[in-house]
Amino acid sequence: MKQLMAEFIGTFWLVLGGCGSTVLAAMYPVAGIGFLGVALAFGLTVVTMSYALGRISGAHFNPAVSLGLWVGGRFSGAQLLPYILSQVLGGLAGAAVLYLIASGKAGFDASAGFASNGFGTRSPGGYNLPSVLLAEVVLTMGFVMVIMGVTEISSPAVVAPLVIGLCYTLIHLISIPVDNTSVNPARSTGVAIFAGGIALQQLWVFWLAPLVGGALGGAIYPVLFSPPEDLNKL
């Protein structure tokens, strides 16, 4: 239960901090934090909660990461579904708190976006579905590979949360214009529930592509980069 609560709280913080920076601060009112600030906010949510809770649950905060680590032999299959459920519930709770805060401003309309992900007319840069699918698969794959690399037994544990957070920041710097950056189905689900409409209709993309990317990253890393003695166990 401590592990599941840690995943709930960590994902809650990720959605509140990352999506909150988008909804509340990105364009406020003229000198907002912009794409760079939003990317840093998402990265900082991962850094802070990874340091705080990583020793308890491993700090996945993301169904695609949990799936990738399971495929890569770093995570128990018995824990996979409970972790994913906790992450989704945490994302919903974070989005609910953000919605309550944002609703305090006159004229707020969650259906206008609410930091939800999308393609076509819902893409900040007008990118189409194939572009979004490719970006989400490749970036999630890279994210899982970075996580697996910096959490090797031989790697210094103290630097892992920082590297993972910087990678998450980089991913957002690349892909916010493409689809508002998902690489995390729990993050996408939380805000899509409140945005409704097209955000919900397009939500399947932000489950399918990150899960495929996470599984690819989890499958590729141990084959390419594990020591020879570990490969014999695969």
pLDDT tens for each residue of 79-89: 999 999 999 99
Of 8-22, 25-39, 170-184, 214-228, the one with minimum mean pLDDT is 25-39
pLDDT for res 29? 65
pTM surpassing 0.75? yes
Q: 188: phi > 0 → left, psi -120 to 50 → alpha, else beta; which?
A: alpha
pLDDT for res 104? 94
pLDDT at 30 over 70: no
Q: At what angle do helices 129-150 and 160-179 cross, to 10 degrees?
A: 180
Domain that holds residue 105: 1-224
Q: Are 99 and 110 in contact (CB under 8 A)?
A: yes
Residues above pLDDT 70, as percent of the chain: 94
Kindly report, residue by residue over 160-199, the tens digit of the pLDDT: 999 999 999 999 999 999 999 999 999 999 999 999 999 9
Evaluate whether residue 234 is within a structural domain.
no
Residues 6+ apart with CB under 8 A from 13: 45, 48, 49, 94
Mean of all residue pLDDT scores within the chain: 93
With bands split at pLDDT 50, 70 and 90, how would you rate the model's confidence at 28? low
Closest CA to 18 of 51, 35, 43, 36: 43
Which amino acid makes up residue 133? L
Evaluate whether residue 149 is within a structural domain.
yes
pLDDT for res 202? 97
User: Which carries the bigger pLDDT value, residue 13 or residue 152?
Assistant: 13
Domain count of the chain?
Answer: 1
Q: At what angle do helices 63-71 and 129-150 cross, to 10 degrees?
A: 60
pLDDT at 225 over 90: no
Evaluate whether residue 81 is within a structural domain.
yes
pLDDT at 38 over 70: yes
**Per the structure block, which two tokens stand in for 205?**
């993309």
Evaluate whether residue 179 is within a structural domain.
yes
Evaluate whether residue 141 is within a structural domain.
yes
Evaluate whether residue 185 is within a structural domain.
yes
Q: 73: phi > 0 → left, psi -120 to 50 → alpha, else beta; which?
A: left
Separation between Cα atoms, residue 203 and residue 180, nearest integer Å: 13
- Average pLDDT for residues 63-83, to the nearest whole number? 96
Evaluate whether residue 134 is within a structural domain.
yes
Evaluate whether residue 198 is within a structural domain.
yes
Of 114-123, 133-142, 154-163, 199-208, the one with minimum mean pLDDT is 154-163
* Residue 177: HSE in the Cβ half-sphere, 13 Å Cα cutoff: 5
* Kind plus residue range of the DSSP H or E element containing 96: helix 77-102
pLDDT for res 213? 98
- Average pLDDT for residues 217-226, to the nearest whole number? 91
Where residue 107 sits, what CATH number does that domain have?
A: 1.20.1080.10
